[in-house]
Amino acid sequence: MRKGQNRAISAAFGASAAVLAIILASPVQAQTKAPIKIGVIAEAQAVAGSSIPQAAQLAAEELNAAGGVDGRKVEIVSYDNHSSAAESVRAFQRAANEDHVNAVIASYISEVVLALEPWTGRLKTVMVSPGAASDVITQNIAKDYSHLKYTFHGYLRSTSLAQQVCAAAKELLVDQLKMKSAVVVSEDAAWTTPLDAEYLKCLPTIGLHVLDHIRFSPDTTDFTPIFNKIEAQKPDVMITGISHVGVQPTVQWKQQQVPIPMLGISSQATNSSFWNDTNGATEGVLYQGVSGPDVAVTPKTLPFVAAFKKKFGNFPSYAGYTAYDEVFYIADAIKRAGSTDPDKLVVALEATDYVGTIGRVQFTGKDSPNPHALKVGPDTITGLMLQWQGGKQVNLWPAKVANGKLKFPKFIKVGAADR
C-alpha cells in the first residue's frame, strides 16, 4: 500500500513537473521562434519610395524561404509616411513602442531621416536609410555618438555622390569630349548643400571650370528662365543635383531643345518608369546610379532585378536595391550578434561586410567624421554613370561594367562653349 502510495505520489509529481515544464518551456520556445520584425517607413506614393517596402518584402520572403534567421522568420511591417517628416516620426514611434520592431528601414528623403535620427536614440531603435543622402545624417552621429549610434546611412553620402559624378565626368566629358566648363544646377534641399559644395570643389580639379551655381526651389514648375540663364553662359554641360523634381526639368529641357547636356544626380531618372513619365524626353540624360537594370555590379544584382520585376512588374528604384540589401545585412547582424538587443545590433552592424546588389557594404567606423556612412571606392561601392538611350538605361561608367557608348539627342550641341 505504502509502496503503491509512493508510486502514485511520484507519478503525480512527475506529471505535475512535466506539465510545469511544458508551461514554462512554451513561452521560452515561442519567444525564441518569434519573428524578427523590421519596420519599413517609406514614401509609398513616390516612385523612388514605393520600391523600398517592396524590395524589403522580397528580401524577407527570400530569407524566410531559406529558413529565416536561426529559425526565426523575418517579418516586414510597412508604414506609408506620405513623404512627411511628421508622419514618419509618428510611424517610427508606433514601430518602436507598439509594434516592437527590431530595426527600421526608413525613407529616401534626407529631411525625413534627419527628423527620425534623434528618435533612434530616444527609443533605442536601429534605423538604416536606403536612400537619403545628406552628409549631416552621419555628421550628427559624430557629434553625439552614444545617443545617435543607432542610425546607419545605407546609401551614399552627398559628398560621395558628387565625387562619383566628378570621376565619371572626367572620363566621359573631359577626357573623351574635351569639355571645359559647367554650370551646377541643383534643387534647394538638405541633400544638395553638401553635394553642391563638393561639386564646386571637385569639378575644377577634373578640368571643368564652373561658370555658375544655381539652386532652385523644388516647387519650380517652369524651368524656362533657369535654362535661359544657363544657356546664356554657354557652358559645355549642366551638372545636376535633382531628386524631388525630375520629370518637369527633363521634359522642358527636351521641349525647349536646350543644347547643353545634363549629367549628375537625377534620382527620378534611376526609375525605369522615368521614360514613360517623361514621354521619352529623358533620352540622353546622364545620371549617377548605384545599380542599373542590366548591370551586373555584383552576382546578386541581376537575380534581384529579375525577382523584383517578376513579383512587382517593374524595375526597382535606386532605393529598392539598398532596401533589399539592408534586410539581408540587418538579419545577418542579428545572427552575428546572437540577439536583437539594440546595442549589440549596433556593434554587429558596424562590423558589416556584406556583398549586396550595389557592391560591398561596409560602414565607416565611429572615429570617422562621418560614422556609419557607406564606404565607397574600388573595393566597396564604385557607383555607375548611366544614360537613357532609346527607352533603356545604359551604363557608360566605369568602363569595366559599361554596356554602351555615350550618345546625345540631335538638339544637344557637344562643345557648346565653342559656339
Does the footprint of other proteins cover residue 245 (CB under 8 A)?
A: yes
Does position 391 interact with other proteins (CB under 8 A)? The reply is no
Stretch that binds other proteins, among 34-42, 120-128, 242-250, 396-404 (CB under 8 A): 242-250
Q: Is 246 in the site for other proteins (CB under 8 A)?
A: yes
| Nearest to other proteins of 251, 347 (CB atom) | 251
Closer residue to other proteins in complex, CB, 277/341: 277
SS (H, E, C) the chain: CHHHHHHHHHHHHHHHHHHHHHHHHHHHHHHHCCCEEEEEEECCCCHHHHHHHHHHHHHHHHHHHCCCECCECEEEEEEECCCCHHHHHHHHHHHHHCCCCCEEEECCCHHHHHHHHHHHHHCCCEEEECCCCCCHHHHHHHHCHHHHCCEEECCCCHHHHHHHHHHHHHHHHHHCCCCCEEEEEEECCCCHHHHHHHHHHHHHHHCCEEEEEEEECCCCCCCHHHHHHHHHCCCCEEEEEECCCCHHHHHHHHHCCCCCCEEEEEHHHHCCCHHHHCCCCCCCCEEEECCCCCCCCCCCHHHHHHHHHHHHCCCCCHHHHHHHHHHHHHHHHHHHHCCCCHHHHHHHHHCCCEECCCCEECECCCCCCCCCCECCCCCCCCCEEEEEECCEEEEEECHHHCCCCCCCCCCCCCCHHHC
Is residue 408 part of the contact set for other proteins (CB under 8 A)? no
Among residues 81, 83, 134, 389, the one that binds other proteins under rule CB under 8 A: 83
Q: How far is the CB of 279 from other proteins (least distance, A)?
A: 4
Q: Which stretch binds other proteins (CB under 8 A): 31-39, 42-50, 129-137, 294-302?
A: 42-50
CB of 215 to other proteins, least distance (A): 8
CB 247 to other proteins: min, Å: 4
Beta bridge partners of 42: 80
Decide: is 314 part of the binding site for other proteins (CB under 8 A): no
Q: Which is nearer to other proteins, 97 or 217 (CB)?
A: 217
Residue 81 engages other proteins in binding (rule: CB under 8 A): no
Span near other proteins by CB under 8 A; candidates 10-18, 22-30, 244-252, 375-383: 244-252
Query: Is residue 217 close enough to count as binding other proteins by CB under 8 A?
Result: yes
Minimum CB separation of residue 257 from other proteins in Å reads 5
Considering only 225, 338, 369, 391, the residue that binds other proteins (CB under 8 A) is: 225
Q: How far is the CB of 102 from other proteins (least distance, A)?
A: 29
The span from the CA of 189 to the CA of 214, in Å, is: 13
- 228 contributes a contact to other proteins by CB under 8 A: yes
Q: Which is nearer to other proteins, 243 or 364 (CB)?
A: 243
C-alpha cell belonging to residue 117: 535620427
The answer to whether the peptide bond before residue 398 is cis (omega within 30 degrees of 0) is yes
Q: Quote the least distance from Cβ 223 to other proteins, whole Å.
A: 8
Exposure pattern of 316-336 as b/e (b: 16+ CB <10 Å)? Answer: bbbbbbbbbbbbbbbbbbbeb
By CB under 8 A, residue 87 contacts other proteins: no
Query: Which 260-279 positions form the footprint of other proteins (CB under 8 A)?
Result: 268, 273, 276-279
Cβ proximity to other proteins: between 259 and 398 the closer is: 259
67 binds other proteins (CB under 8 A): no
Neighbours of 215 (CB within 10 A): 14
Nearest residue (CB) to other proteins, 329 versus 388 = 388
Maximum distance among all Cα pairs of the chain, rounded to whole angstroms: 116
101 counts as binding other proteins under rule CB under 8 A: no
Q: Is 216 in the site for other proteins (CB under 8 A)?
A: yes
Give yes or no for residue 188 binding other proteins (CB under 8 A).
yes
Q: Which is nearer to other proteins, 261 or 359 (CB)?
A: 261
The reply to whether 401 sits near other proteins by the rule CB under 8 A is no
Helix axis angle for 110-122 and 85-97, nearest 10°, is 30
| 26 touches other proteins (CB under 8 A) | no
Give the footprint of other proteins on this chain (CB under 8 A): 45-47, 50, 83, 188, 216-217, 219-226, 228, 245-248, 251-252, 255-257, 268, 273, 276-279, 281
